[in-house]
Amino acid sequence: MNSATGTEQEQRSFAEEALRLGGKTEEEARRMGAVDKADEQVESLFAARYQTANSPVHKAVWEGKVPLDLFAAPPLAESAPCDAAMERSIEVMRRRRNNKTIFDENKKVSAETIAELGQAGYWGMLIDPHYGGQGAPFARFARFLTRMGLIDATTAALASVHGCIGAVDPLRTFGTAEQKNRLLPVLASGKKVSGFALTEPAAGSDLTALKTVAVPAGDDYEITGEKLFITNAIPNRAIGLVVMLEGKPAVFIAELPERENEQFQIFRYGLWALKHTYNNGLRFNRFRIPKANLLKPPTGDGLTIAYHGLNLGRLSLCASAAANMRVFLANMLPWAEFRKTYGQPISSRELVKRRIARLAGLIAGADALVAWGGWLIDQGYRGELECIVAKIFGSEAQKEAAIELFMKTHGGRSFLHGHLFGDNVHEYLAPCIYEGEGEMLGMAFFKSLVKEHGRQFFEPIGKRLQEVGIKHFNPINPLHLWKLRHELTAYSKWSIGKKFAWADTQTVPGMDRRLADHVAFALHIFPEHAKELSGALRKHQLRLADRQCRMAELSLRVQDTVVMLVTAMWAHTQKKEIAIASADILCQDLHRKLTGQRPSDAYFRDVNRLADLILGGGFEELAQVPREEILMKY
Ligand SMILES: Cc1cc2nc3c(=O)[nH]c(=O)nc-3n(C[C@H](O)[C@H](O)[C@H](O)COP(=O)(O)OP(=O)(O)OC[C@H]3O[C@@H](n4cnc5c(N)ncnc54)[C@H](O)[C@@H]3O)c2cc1C
């Protein structure tokens, strides 16, 4: 490896090189390099101005001036052609919920529910009207998912599985005209609802370990291998299936047969999460798929396709979390007012009020990220960094809300059969794992964020070190400094420029004082993040890949600042006290997390005030959220 030629050296990615010098095996370096390459290929599908290096988060960190206009989504259009199908779908689900007919005898979303939603236009939301769909802009679809999620979380999740990570997005984005004409109408009508089969027993976080293979056989390919944890994987579904073809990942649209047979088998296991839909393993043994169902991206391979849909799925996941957290809040309030201890309802206690206020803050954050991310996707941005922030925030907020806020407030009743928490706790936790476990994604966020900076300043230093044969750079050795003078000068200029840069003092006209303070703080801290990130690259150099805890920590700091800015900017556009006060609480929490300060009495007063507003009916939207019966009334 050390004897690599110049060309080979240039072809090696930053991560690959980092792993190599970090003492990793050649095999590990090669596999990480493959993941990096897939990521770069997704990038090249987007026009330069929409790529990660030009994304709002990247610019905010590295460019010295935060592009505030890219952090505030304009309000959605008053109406759109897809609205009628959305209203029909909501009506179907409301009726079915009231009649208790969403699920079948196995407690899974029933075939009748799926068919009726098909007639309403639900499964075609993201599909162009030309193919029988509704052509919903993504931002509108995401907001609609939150509404659907209030009625039934599983049905909302299925729309995301089908439309984002399932067969719809791969076909819309990468299908040929023939494939779209043949397959999209079936998917739009709901005759076939789809899923996505990527994970295998040995390949979850590590996608380079995929083993399922496709081998040409006449007009078909024969697929052999095993998939695990696949949502919506039952006979007669259409599945975006990731396999290895000629040593590279590829995606087929697999139309699963109506019955299991020798070539195609489902293996079932008990799974607590997503209990109202099917999640199964798939076994293929020379299972035939027509060659016509192979998707061919213009650049890259099957992982390019997978990564594209995952971005949309991650935003949808945050939209679902926004729904679940509304359900928590709507069900916490009547309970907290009903439950009296020591002669007073617990809703009058500060500890409980803090939970109510924190929950409202988390809802504001999730709503803000969904509106922002959806808008960016509709603008044409790749949105990788932004969707990761939404996924991690949404899933972690939902987990915290479920356990720290909802469960604790409901006390022992949380664990009764029939209680929302006890019955659904796994539903609330699983999003932290699927579509990328949070900390793994956090590291991916870090890597994407520092890639360009590393390329610009650290790669030239690395190459030069190799050219002049310095194995261990010593910053006080004059000979080393001389040999690297050009490369080090370029980096020093950047570093000094950052040190003496003018403060970013932009303001948003007419913004509430509370929000303006948070925006000012975010503008102040983004350049600090650039210095922290660059400092980590400088300190750990190519061994940074082993400093996972540092990467995760730095990643989360940037993510927290992004959430803060997006939430404050969103609340400003809402022009409602409830949105502003909720956003303010979340932003104050994030501010303390970023600075390590203790909460002040003023903060506790703000918390009380917001909780009182909510208890007084100030969160008007909650009126539409279905409420569960209070259990064990006395
Ligand atoms: C309810 C549910 C629904 C799902 N639906 C689908 C679906 O529809 N389609 C599909 O393809 N998949 C699906 N999945 C699979 C899901 O995407 C994977 O579970 C997830 O990607 C993690 O993979 P894994 O479970 O194999 O974890 P593993 O790869 O076994 O990893 C376990 C943990 O180890 C840690 N870890 C792993 N590698 C590293 C590393 N290099 N450095 C540091 N830490 C590491 C991480 O914390 C990780 O979470 C679903 C899963 C669940 C639970």
Ligand 1 atom at minimal distance to the Cα of residue 242: 11
- Residues contacting residue 446 through CB under 8 Å, at least 6 positions apart: 533, 551, 552, 554, 555, 558
Q: Is there a contact between 479 and 592 (Cβ–Cβ < 8 Å)?
A: no
Phi, psi of 266 (to 5 degrees): -100, 135
Mean local confidence (pLDDT), 539-551: 90
Residue with tokens 């089908």: 162
Mean local confidence (pLDDT), 464-469: 91
Residue 8 is predicted with a pLDDT of 34
pLDDT in tens, 346-371: 999 999 999 999 999 999 999 999 99
Ligand 1 atom at minimal distance to the Cα of residue 437: 49
Choose the residue to mutate in 242, 396, 434 for probing ligand 1, maximizing ligand atoms within 8 Å of C-beta: 434
Closest Cα to atom 17, ligand 1: which residue?
A: 434
Q: How far is CA 539 from CA 105, 139, 208, 458, 612, in A?
A: 59, 40, 29, 11, 49
282 lines ligand 1 (CB under 6 A): no
pLDDT in tens, 584-619: 999 999 999 999 999 999 999 999 999 999 999 999
- Ligand 1 centroid from CA 523, angstroms: 35
- Ligand 1 centroid from CA 432, angstroms: 10
* Tokens encoding 285: 């043994």
223 lines ligand 1 (CB under 6 A): no
241 lines ligand 1 (CB under 6 A): no
Residue 34 is predicted with a pLDDT of 61
Number of H helices, E strands in the chain: 23, 10
The answer on pLDDT for 581 being more than 90 is yes
154 lines ligand 1 (CB under 6 A): no
Choose the residue to mutate in 158, 228, 229, 278 for probing ligand 1, maximizing ligand atoms within 8 Å of C-beta: 229
- Ligand 1 centroid from CA 248, angstroms: 21
pLDDT in tens, 246-269: 999 999 999 999 999 999 999 999
H-run or E-run covering 249: strand 248-255
229 lines ligand 1 (CB under 6 A): yes
Where helices occur in 433-472 by DSSP H, the ranges are 438-453, 459-467
Mean pLDDT rounded to a whole number for the chain: 93
- Ligand 1 centroid from CA 203, angstroms: 8
Residue 15 is predicted with a pLDDT of 42
Residue 19 is predicted with a pLDDT of 41
Residue 163 is predicted with a pLDDT of 96
Ligand 1 atom at minimal distance to the Cα of residue 201: 26
Choose the residue to mutate in 36, 277, 440 for probing ligand 1, maximizing ligand atoms within 8 Å of C-beta: 440
Q: If DSSP codes are grouped into helix, strand and coil, which group holds residue 78?
A: coil
279 lines ligand 1 (CB under 6 A): yes
Q: Is there a contact between 494 and 458 (Cβ–Cβ < 8 Å)?
A: no
pLDDT in tens, 190-240: 999 999 999 999 999 998 899 999 999 999 999 999 999 999 999 999 999
- Ligand 1 centroid from CA 373, angstroms: 24
- Ligand 1 centroid from CA 327, angstroms: 27
H-run or E-run covering 241: strand 238-245
Closest Cα to atom 1, ligand 1: which residue?
A: 273
- Ligand 1 centroid from CA 318, angstroms: 18
Ligand 1 atom at minimal distance to the Cα of residue 195: 8
Ligand 1 atom at minimal distance to the Cα of residue 433: 20
440 lines ligand 1 (CB under 6 A): yes
- Residues contacting residue 203 through CB under 8 Å, at least 6 positions apart: 209, 210, 211
Q: Cα separation of 372 and 74, whole Å?
A: 9
158 lines ligand 1 (CB under 6 A): no
- Ligand 1 centroid from CA 430, angstroms: 10
Residue 42 is predicted with a pLDDT of 75
H-run or E-run covering 41: helix 26-43
Choose the residue to mutate in 200, 433, 555 for probing ligand 1, maximizing ligand atoms within 8 Å of C-beta: 433
- Ligand 1 centroid from CA 442, angstroms: 14
433 lines ligand 1 (CB under 6 A): yes
Choose the residue to mutate in 237, 437, 546, 548 for probing ligand 1, maximizing ligand atoms within 8 Å of C-beta: 437
pLDDT in tens, 10-19: 334 444 444 4
CB atoms within 10 A of CB 299: 11
- Ligand 1 centroid from CA 204, angstroms: 4
Among candidates 420, 419, 410, 428, which has minimal Cα distance to 333?
A: 410
The answer on pLDDT for 342 being more than 60 is yes
Choose the residue to mutate in 205, 207, 243, 312 for probing ligand 1, maximizing ligand atoms within 8 Å of C-beta: 205
Residue 14 is predicted with a pLDDT of 44
- Ligand 1 centroid from CA 437, angstroms: 6
Residue 46 is predicted with a pLDDT of 85
Q: Cα separation of 52 and 386, whole Å?
A: 9
- Ligand 1 centroid from CA 423, angstroms: 23
Residue 475 is predicted with a pLDDT of 83
Q: Is there a contact between 589 and 331 (Cβ–Cβ < 8 Å)?
A: no
pLDDT in tens, 469-526: 988 888 899 999 999 999 999 999 999 999 999 999 999 999 999 999 999 999 999 9
437 lines ligand 1 (CB under 6 A): yes
Among candidates 523, 391, 379, which has minimal Cα distance to 445?
A: 391
Q: How far is CA 241 from CA 199, 211, 214, 308, 316, in A?
A: 10, 12, 11, 14, 21
Q: If DSSP codes are grouped into helix, strand and coil, which group holds residue 48?
A: helix
Q: Cα separation of 389 and 563, whole Å?
A: 8
CB atoms within 10 A of CB 81: 10
Q: If DSSP codes are grouped into helix, strand and coil, which group holds residue 344?
A: strand
- Ligand 1 centroid from CA 35, angstroms: 16
Phi, psi of 264 (to 5 degrees): -135, 120
Residue 36 is predicted with a pLDDT of 67
- Residues contacting residue 412 through CB under 8 Å, at least 6 positions apart: none
pLDDT in tens, 18-61: 444 444 555 655 565 666 666 777 777 888 888 998 999 999 99
- Which of 158-162, 297-301, 436-440, 450-454 has the lowest average pLDDT? 297-301
